Amino acid sequence: MMNFKNVFRWHYPFLFFVLMLVSHLASASTLLVLGDSLSAGYRMSASVAWPSLLNSHWQQQPRVVNASISGDTTAQGLARLPALLKQHQPQWVLIELGGNDGLRGFSPQSIEQDLRKIIDDVKAANARPLLMQVRLPANYGRRYTEAFSGIYPRLAQQYNIPLVPFFMEQVYLKSEWMQQDGIHPNPDAQPFIAELMAKELAPLVKHE
């Protein structure tokens, strides 16, 4: 006859492990990256993109969830945000959006309005917004590029949130890190970006 007492005793270590794992997952901090093709890994596997490399480098402490989609505008990111916040319940959200709006010549006022709504939604979900500075190529005209780039420090100051440097400003300097379109980083650039972002983000997310 089976000794159920011994069977349950054998399962104690396993049950303890399961409970610890569930507890860890429930309390794990999450950094959600809400971006466009610069973070999605344009024309490459998502596992090669810098958010995935950062997640591996940090060993998921905190966990990095890449919710970036190539081609996304601020309005599209805003539309996707509520479901992402509900699904992942992040502690921080890195907002890397606006480049596609600028490349399409959208009005700076509409871009700023969408970014404001994104920041408001992140804060309403009890998460902390981290805003990345985004810049456009100089050939889009000085007046427009200055109006566009000015959106980000203004919002960061008004909301008192971190303004994360634009990683592409350093990537642009090395032609071997750029794809043929002259806009997107290639796979060779991803480790550098991940290392740079680890340096910039670690003080914001790993010491709280």
Residues with catalytic roles: 37, 181, 184
- Dihedral in degrees, nearest 10, Cα atoms 208, 206, 38, 48: -150
Cβ count within 10 A of residue 153: 12
- Long-range contacts of range 151-155, CB-CB < 8 Å, 24 or more positions apart? 151/98, 151/108, 151/111, 151/112, 151/115, 152/98, 152/115, 154/112, 155/112, 155/115, 155/116, 155/119, 155/131
For residue 60, CA distances in Å to 56, 200, 206 come to 7, 17, 11
Could you give the CA distance from residue 134 to residue 169 in angstroms, rounded to a whole number? 9
